[in-house]
Protein backbone atom coordinates (compact mmCIF):
# COMPACT_ATOMS: atom_id res chain seq x y z
CA UNK A 1 0.00 0.00 0.00
CA UNK A 2 1.30 3.45 -0.90
CA UNK A 3 2.32 5.48 2.15
CA UNK A 4 0.89 8.97 2.52
CA UNK A 5 3.71 11.01 4.03
CA UNK A 6 4.63 14.70 4.23
CA UNK A 7 8.04 15.86 3.01
CA UNK A 8 11.01 14.80 5.14
CA UNK A 9 12.34 18.37 5.48
CA UNK A 10 8.99 19.42 6.95
CA UNK A 11 9.08 16.57 9.46
CA UNK A 12 12.70 17.26 10.44
CA UNK A 13 11.97 20.96 10.98
CA UNK A 14 8.89 20.27 13.09
CA UNK A 15 10.51 17.52 15.18
CA UNK A 16 13.58 19.68 15.94
CA UNK A 17 11.43 22.73 16.76
CA UNK A 18 9.12 20.67 18.98
CA UNK A 19 12.03 19.12 20.85
CA UNK A 20 13.75 22.50 21.35
CA UNK A 21 10.53 24.47 21.82
CA UNK A 22 12.17 27.06 19.55
CA UNK A 23 12.42 27.74 15.81
CA UNK A 24 15.76 29.47 16.36
CA UNK A 25 17.34 26.51 18.16
CA UNK A 26 15.94 24.14 15.55
CA UNK A 27 17.52 26.26 12.81
CA UNK A 28 20.91 26.08 14.56
CA UNK A 29 20.64 22.30 14.91
CA UNK A 30 19.70 21.78 11.25
CA UNK A 31 22.11 24.42 9.88
CA UNK A 32 19.31 26.36 8.16
CA UNK A 33 17.69 29.73 8.74
CA UNK A 34 14.88 30.54 11.16
CA UNK A 35 12.74 31.42 8.14
CA UNK A 36 13.32 27.98 6.61
CA UNK A 37 12.16 26.20 9.78
CA UNK A 38 9.11 28.44 10.03
CA UNK A 39 8.23 27.80 6.38
CA UNK A 40 8.59 24.02 6.68
CA UNK A 41 6.42 23.92 9.81
CA UNK A 42 3.76 26.08 8.16
CA UNK A 43 3.73 23.82 5.10
CA UNK A 44 3.39 20.76 7.35
CA UNK A 45 0.48 22.37 9.21
CA UNK A 46 -1.22 23.10 5.89
CA UNK A 47 -0.64 19.51 4.75
CA UNK A 48 -2.07 18.10 7.98
CA UNK A 49 -4.87 20.63 8.16
CA UNK A 50 -4.22 21.45 11.81
CA UNK A 51 -1.98 23.88 13.72
CA UNK A 52 1.01 22.33 15.50
CA UNK A 53 2.30 25.49 17.21
CA UNK A 54 0.78 28.61 18.68
CA UNK A 55 2.94 31.61 17.73
CA UNK A 56 3.35 34.07 20.59
CA UNK A 57 5.34 37.26 20.98
CA UNK A 58 7.98 35.32 22.93
CA UNK A 59 8.26 32.28 20.69
CA UNK A 60 6.18 29.17 19.95
CA UNK A 61 4.15 26.73 22.04
CA UNK A 62 3.01 23.29 20.92
CA UNK A 63 -0.70 22.70 20.50
CA UNK A 64 -2.21 19.46 21.83
CA UNK A 65 -2.03 18.01 18.32
CA UNK A 66 1.57 19.15 18.07
CA UNK A 67 2.48 17.46 21.35
CA UNK A 68 0.93 14.16 20.26
CA UNK A 69 2.60 14.29 16.84
CA UNK A 70 6.03 15.15 18.30
CA UNK A 71 5.76 12.38 20.90
CA UNK A 72 5.44 9.81 18.09
CA UNK A 73 7.93 11.37 15.67
CA UNK A 74 10.91 11.78 18.00
CA UNK A 75 11.35 8.04 18.72
CA UNK A 76 11.13 7.39 14.96
CA UNK A 77 13.90 9.91 14.22
CA UNK A 78 15.98 8.45 17.06
CA UNK A 79 15.58 4.99 15.53
CA UNK A 80 16.58 6.29 12.09
CA UNK A 81 19.67 7.96 13.59
CA UNK A 82 20.65 4.74 15.38
CA UNK A 83 20.16 2.67 12.23
CA UNK A 84 22.25 5.17 10.27
CA UNK A 85 25.07 5.01 12.81
CA UNK A 86 25.03 1.21 12.61
CA UNK A 87 25.17 1.32 8.81
CA UNK A 88 28.02 3.84 8.83
CA UNK A 89 30.11 1.55 11.00
CA UNK A 90 30.14 -0.92 8.13
CA UNK A 91 32.17 1.54 6.04
CA UNK A 92 35.68 2.89 6.58
CA UNK A 93 34.73 5.38 9.29
CA UNK A 94 37.83 5.27 11.44
CA UNK A 95 40.33 7.26 9.37
CA UNK A 96 40.23 10.64 7.64
CA UNK A 97 42.98 12.53 5.84
CA UNK A 98 42.30 16.27 5.77
CA UNK A 99 44.31 18.73 3.65
CA UNK A 100 43.58 22.29 4.87
CA UNK A 101 45.41 25.31 3.52
CA UNK A 102 48.22 26.57 5.75
CA UNK A 103 46.61 29.73 7.12
CA UNK A 104 43.35 28.01 7.97
CA UNK A 105 45.17 25.07 9.54
CA UNK A 106 47.50 27.02 11.82
CA UNK A 107 45.30 29.93 12.81
CA UNK A 108 41.91 28.25 13.16
CA UNK A 109 41.76 24.49 12.70
CA UNK A 110 44.62 23.16 14.84
CA UNK A 111 43.62 25.07 18.02
CA UNK A 112 40.16 23.46 17.76
CA UNK A 113 41.06 19.90 16.82
CA UNK A 114 41.04 18.82 20.46
CA UNK A 115 37.27 19.35 20.46
CA UNK A 116 36.83 17.13 17.44
CA UNK A 117 39.07 14.41 18.87
CA UNK A 118 37.15 14.48 22.13
CA UNK A 119 33.80 14.23 20.33
CA UNK A 120 35.01 11.52 17.92
CA UNK A 121 37.69 9.43 19.65
CA UNK A 122 37.05 6.61 17.17
CA UNK A 123 38.21 8.71 14.20
CA UNK A 124 41.91 8.90 13.41
CA UNK A 125 42.70 12.24 11.78
CA UNK A 126 45.65 12.79 9.48
CA UNK A 127 46.05 16.55 8.93
CA UNK A 128 48.32 17.42 6.01
CA UNK A 129 48.30 21.15 5.13
CA UNK A 130 48.85 22.13 1.52
CA UNK A 131 48.24 24.99 -0.87
CA UNK A 132 47.08 23.03 -3.93
CA UNK A 133 44.00 20.95 -4.60
CA UNK A 134 44.65 17.31 -3.81
CA UNK A 135 44.37 14.36 -6.14
CA UNK A 136 41.54 12.74 -4.25
CA UNK A 137 41.39 9.75 -6.58
CA UNK A 138 44.85 8.55 -5.55
CA UNK A 139 43.69 8.03 -1.96
CA UNK A 140 46.29 10.49 -0.64
CA UNK A 141 43.67 12.85 0.83
CA UNK A 142 39.98 12.37 1.62
CA UNK A 143 38.90 15.99 1.88
CA UNK A 144 40.46 19.46 1.86
CA UNK A 145 39.61 22.95 3.06
CA UNK A 146 40.53 25.68 0.61
CA UNK A 147 40.13 29.45 0.33
CA UNK A 148 38.93 30.72 -3.02
CA UNK A 149 35.96 31.05 -5.34
CA UNK A 150 35.05 27.35 -5.24
CA UNK A 151 35.40 26.86 -8.99
CA UNK A 152 38.18 24.27 -9.00
CA UNK A 153 37.92 21.53 -11.65
CA UNK A 154 37.16 17.90 -10.86
CA UNK A 155 36.04 18.49 -7.28
CA UNK A 156 32.85 18.79 -5.30
CA UNK A 157 32.96 22.12 -3.42
CA UNK A 158 30.71 23.08 -0.50
CA UNK A 159 30.86 26.64 0.81
CA UNK A 160 31.61 26.66 4.52
CA UNK A 161 31.87 30.37 5.15
CA UNK A 162 32.11 33.64 3.23
CA UNK A 163 35.10 35.83 4.08
CA UNK A 164 34.87 39.39 5.39
CA UNK A 165 38.13 41.32 5.03
CA UNK A 166 39.31 44.13 7.33
CA UNK A 167 42.61 45.67 8.52
CA UNK A 168 44.26 44.43 11.71
CA UNK A 169 47.42 45.36 13.61
CA UNK A 170 49.15 44.84 16.93
CA UNK A 171 47.73 47.09 19.68
CA UNK A 172 51.16 48.53 20.51
CA UNK A 173 51.56 49.79 16.95
CA UNK A 174 48.78 52.36 17.33
CA UNK A 175 48.86 52.95 21.07
CA UNK A 176 50.44 56.40 20.76
CA UNK A 177 49.25 57.29 17.27
CA UNK A 178 45.90 55.65 16.46
CA UNK A 179 44.63 56.20 12.91
CA UNK A 180 41.36 58.10 12.85
CA UNK A 181 40.48 57.57 9.18
CA UNK A 182 41.64 55.20 6.42
CA UNK A 183 43.86 57.85 4.84
CA UNK A 184 45.91 57.84 8.06
CA UNK A 185 47.23 54.44 7.02
CA UNK A 186 49.79 56.36 4.94
CA UNK A 187 51.67 56.71 8.25
CA UNK A 188 52.02 52.92 8.56
CA UNK A 189 53.38 49.98 6.58
CA UNK A 190 50.81 47.91 4.72
CA UNK A 191 51.52 44.19 4.76
CA UNK A 192 50.31 42.28 1.71
CA UNK A 193 49.35 38.61 1.54
CA UNK A 194 49.71 36.91 -1.85
CA UNK A 195 48.26 39.88 -3.75
CA UNK A 196 48.27 43.65 -3.40
CA UNK A 197 44.79 43.76 -4.94
CA UNK A 198 43.09 43.05 -1.60
CA UNK A 199 44.41 46.26 -0.08
CA UNK A 200 43.41 48.15 -3.25
CA UNK A 201 39.86 46.80 -2.90
CA UNK A 202 39.62 47.70 0.78
CA UNK A 203 41.04 51.21 0.37
CA UNK A 204 38.62 51.90 -2.46
CA UNK A 205 35.67 50.65 -0.37
CA UNK A 206 36.87 52.83 2.54
CA UNK A 207 36.92 55.92 0.31
CA UNK A 208 40.66 56.43 0.78
CA UNK A 209 41.95 59.36 -1.29
CA UNK A 210 45.48 57.98 -1.51
CA UNK A 211 44.90 54.83 -3.56
CA UNK A 212 48.64 54.45 -4.18
CA UNK A 213 48.95 53.12 -0.63
CA UNK A 214 47.88 49.73 -1.96
CA UNK A 215 51.03 49.28 -4.01
CA UNK A 216 53.61 49.85 -1.27
CA UNK A 217 54.78 47.55 1.50
CA UNK A 218 56.22 44.02 1.72
CA UNK A 219 54.49 41.06 0.09
CA UNK A 220 54.11 37.80 2.05
CA UNK A 221 52.88 34.39 1.03
CA UNK A 222 50.13 32.48 2.80
CA UNK A 223 49.33 33.73 6.31
CA UNK A 224 52.71 35.35 7.07
CA UNK A 225 51.32 38.88 6.67
CA UNK A 226 49.08 38.35 9.70
CA UNK A 227 51.99 37.02 11.70
CA UNK A 228 53.98 40.11 10.72
CA UNK A 229 51.06 42.27 11.89
CA UNK A 230 51.02 40.49 15.25
CA UNK A 231 54.75 41.25 15.51
CA UNK A 232 53.99 44.96 15.15
CA UNK A 233 55.38 45.39 11.63
CA UNK A 234 52.32 47.08 10.14
CA UNK A 235 48.72 46.58 9.08
CA UNK A 236 47.53 43.38 7.41
CA UNK A 237 44.18 42.45 5.92
CA UNK A 238 42.53 39.48 7.59
CA UNK A 239 39.18 37.76 7.54
CA UNK A 240 36.99 36.84 10.50
CA UNK A 241 38.00 33.18 10.47
CA UNK A 242 41.77 33.60 10.79
CA UNK A 243 41.63 36.75 12.94
CA UNK A 244 38.84 36.34 15.51
CA UNK A 245 40.89 34.31 18.00
CA UNK A 246 43.68 36.90 17.91
CA UNK A 247 41.15 39.74 18.30
CA UNK A 248 39.59 38.03 21.32
CA UNK A 249 42.98 37.46 22.94
CA UNK A 250 44.14 41.02 22.25
CA UNK A 251 47.05 40.02 20.00
CA UNK A 252 45.38 42.00 17.21
CA UNK A 253 43.02 44.95 17.10
CA UNK A 254 40.61 46.13 14.40
CA UNK A 255 40.80 49.96 14.20
CA UNK A 256 38.17 50.42 11.45
CA UNK A 257 34.61 49.12 11.18
CA UNK A 258 34.82 48.92 7.39
CA UNK A 259 34.91 45.41 5.95
CA UNK A 260 34.59 44.08 2.44
CA UNK A 261 33.17 40.82 1.18
CA UNK A 262 35.22 39.20 -1.54
CA UNK A 263 33.77 36.70 -4.01
CA UNK A 264 35.75 34.08 -2.11
CA UNK A 265 35.48 32.07 1.05
CA UNK A 266 36.32 28.80 2.75
CA UNK A 267 35.24 25.63 0.97
CA UNK A 268 35.16 21.96 1.84
CA UNK A 269 36.27 20.04 -1.26
CA UNK A 270 36.54 16.38 -2.22
CA UNK A 271 36.77 14.36 -5.41
CA UNK A 272 34.03 14.84 -7.97
CA UNK A 273 31.72 11.84 -7.96
CA UNK A 274 33.15 10.51 -4.68
CA UNK A 275 31.16 10.17 -1.47
CA UNK A 276 32.36 11.24 1.95
CA UNK A 277 32.77 8.34 4.36
CA UNK A 278 31.34 8.41 7.86
CA UNK A 279 34.42 10.17 9.24
CA UNK A 280 34.19 12.80 6.50
CA UNK A 281 30.53 13.43 7.25
CA UNK A 282 31.28 13.80 10.96
CA UNK A 283 34.15 16.20 10.25
CA UNK A 284 31.99 18.29 7.92
CA UNK A 285 29.24 18.60 10.52
CA UNK A 286 31.74 19.59 13.22
CA UNK A 287 33.46 22.08 10.91
CA UNK A 288 30.21 23.88 10.04
CA UNK A 289 29.21 24.13 13.71
CA UNK A 290 32.61 25.49 14.80
CA UNK A 291 32.66 28.06 12.00
CA UNK A 292 29.20 29.19 13.04
CA UNK A 293 30.59 29.80 16.55
CA UNK A 294 33.52 31.80 15.17
CA UNK A 295 31.24 34.00 13.08
CA UNK A 296 29.01 34.59 16.10
CA UNK A 297 32.04 35.56 18.21
CA UNK A 298 33.19 37.98 15.51
CA UNK A 299 29.73 39.56 15.22
CA UNK A 300 29.69 40.02 18.99
CA UNK A 301 33.08 41.74 18.83
CA UNK A 302 31.78 44.10 16.16
CA UNK A 303 28.73 44.94 18.24
Was domain 8-89 assigned CATH 1.10.10.10?
A: yes
Burial of 250 (0-12, 13-18, 19+ CB in 10 A): exposed
Annotated domain spans of the chain: 8-89, 95-162+264-302, 163-262
User: pLDDT truncated to tens, each residue of the chain (303 aa)?
Assistant: 677 889 999 999 999 999 999 998 888 888 778 888 999 999 999 999 999 999 887 789 999 999 999 999 999 988 887 776 666 555 555 889 999 988 899 999 999 999 999 999 989 999 988 777 777 776 778 899 999 888 888 888 999 999 999 999 999 999 998 999 999 999 999 999 877 888 999 999 999 887 777 788 888 876 789 999 999 999 999 999 999 999 999 999 999 999 998 788 999 999 888 888 889 999 999 999 999 999 999 999 887
Which CATH architecture is the domain 95-162+264-302 placed in?
A: 3-Layer(aba) Sandwich (3.40)
Q: Are 265 and 145 in contact (CB under 8 A)?
A: no
Domains 8-89 and 95-162+264-302 share a fold: no
Taking Cα atoms as reference points, which of 81, 72, 57 lies closest to residue 19?
72
CATH fold of 163-262 reads D-Maltodextrin-Binding Protein; domain 2 (3.40.190)
Greatest C-alpha distance within the chain: 78
Q: Are 40 and 9 in contact (CB under 8 A)?
A: yes
Q: How far, in Å, CA of 210 to CA of 303, rounded? A: 29
Amino acid sequence: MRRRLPLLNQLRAFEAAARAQSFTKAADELFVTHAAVSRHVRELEDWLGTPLFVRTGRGVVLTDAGKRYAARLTPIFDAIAEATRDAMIEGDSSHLTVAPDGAFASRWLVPRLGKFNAAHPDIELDVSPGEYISDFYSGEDDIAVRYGAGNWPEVEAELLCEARMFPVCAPDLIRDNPPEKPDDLSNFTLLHENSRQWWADWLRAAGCKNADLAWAGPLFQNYLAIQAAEAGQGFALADQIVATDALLSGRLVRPFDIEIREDEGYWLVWGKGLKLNAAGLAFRQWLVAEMRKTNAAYDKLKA
